[in-house]
Amino acid sequence: MIKSMTGYGRAQASVDGSDILVEIKSVNNRYYDFSARLPRMYGYLEEKLKTFLSGSISRGKIEVSVSIYNNTGKDEEITLNLDVANGYINALRGANESLGLTDDITLSQVSRFPDVFIVKKIIEDEESVWNNIRPVAEEAVAKFVSMRETEGAKMKDDLLSRLDFILKEVEKVEIQSPKTTENYRNRLYQKLKEVLSDNNIDEQRIVTEAAIFSEKIAVDEETVRLRSHISQFKELLETSEPVGRKLDFLVQEMNREANTIGSKAQDVAITKIVVDIKSEIEKIREQIQNIE
């Protein structure tokens, strides 16, 4: 099943006292372009997430957002800076003695002084944090891939419809081409006879030359190759592997054959058919720009 490169997945869970939210979104890109928004202290998770997602995503501009909120209140460790507190107390008591004031220093007063408390972020074990986040990320990826597959299924139906339309137009070309070739051969034969009417040249030679020149406008090989490209295209739509680049190559080849048919065919009807074929190929090309 083909996948769209556009997708979104979101998962949230409470794990080991932390509320974890993981969001994944993507748009089309020729390569795997990864970026992440993480809390500063969890920056080390970026490479883990990039490697983890690369197992499920091969192409696209991927943006991952992770939020982690510790609801146990254990994110920080607070201790009293005894040296600073003693410095304030000694300074105040010194002032008491010099000024003859009453010593009424209390704990609440000391706690208001700057730098009395030391606040430290608790350093968490990286593997433990990743083990908590991973199942949430897996759920978000599953939803993300599911959305991509749903979009891909819609694109597949549309592409198949356009390919079938092109096949019908190719059939029209194949019906019209022999008539065009025969008409061209007859016209060329008559012209050659007129030009060479005064010369003693073998008529069979004229017929042969007319046939050779008329074959130059035949498009049998081009229609066969165009059918082959369409058949390969349909086969790729059934595979579960990333096929965006291969489809892009086939579209270029289909367009090449259509151009050749248009340039070789000396017929207004075929020219109009080729215009319709090229229009559908262009719409297919636009579609596959968003296929993984």
DSSP code per residue over 249-292? HHHHHHHHHHHHHHHH---HHHHHHHHHHHHHHHHHHHHHTTB-
Query: Which of 61-65, 136-140, 168-172, 184-188 has the least mean pLDDT?
Result: 184-188
Averaged pLDDT for residues 192-221:
60
pLDDT of 172 above 80 = yes
Contact 128, 17 (CB under 8 A): no
Tokens of 91: 């300074």
Residues 108 and 67 in one domain: no
Work out the average pLDDT over 174-195. Answer: 66
Contacts of 87 (CB under 8 A, 6+ apart): none
Nearest to 217 by CA among 275, 253, 173: 173
pLDDT tens, residue by residue, 17-36:
889 999 999 999 989 999 99
Same domain, 50 and 181: no
pLDDT at 220: 81
Would you say the pTM of this structure is higher than 0.75?
no
Q: Token digits for 258?
A: 């259509």
The band of 198, judged by pLDDT with boundaries at 50, 70 and 90, is: low
CATH number, position 22: 3.30.230
**Cβ pair 45, 133 in contact under 8 A:** yes
User: Is the same domain home to 172 and 274?
Assistant: yes
CA proximity to 95, closest of 80, 107, 105? 105
Q: Would you list the DSSP string of 157-192? A: HHHHHHHHHHHHHHHHHHHHHHHHHHHHHHHHHHHH
Together in a domain, 220 and 270: yes
Q: Give CA 278 to chain center in angstroms.
A: 25
Residues 115 and 134 in one domain: no
Does residue 142 lie in a domain region? yes
- 2 occurs within a structural domain: no
Does residue 281 contact residue 258 with C-beta atoms inside 8 Å? yes
195 & 272 share domain: yes
Give a yes or no: residue 22 inside a domain. yes
100 and 161 in a common domain: no
Q: Do 37 and 170 sit in the same domain of this protein? A: no
Higher pLDDT, 186 or 278: 278
pLDDT at 109 over 90: no
Cβ neighbors of 281 (< 8 A, separation 6 or more) are 166, 251, 254, 255, 258
**Around Cβ 4, how many Cβ atoms within 10 Å?**
24
Q: Are residues 282 and 229 in the same domain?
A: yes
Q: Is residue 36 part of a domain?
A: yes
- Asked, for residue 1, whether it belongs to a domain, the answer is no
pLDDT at 179 over 90: no
Asked if 84 and 161 sit in the same domain, the reply is no
Residues whose CB falls within 8 Å of the CB of residue 119, separated by 6 or more in sequence, listed in order: 76, 77, 78
Residue 173 lies in a domain: yes
Decide if pLDDT at 104 tops 90. Answer: no
Domains contained in the chain, number: 3
Domain interval for residue 26: 7-72+126-148
3-class SS shares of the chain: helix, strand, coil, % to 5: 60, 15, 20
Whether residue 83 is found in the same domain as residue 52? no
Please check whether residues 158 and 107 belong to one and the same domain.
Answer: no
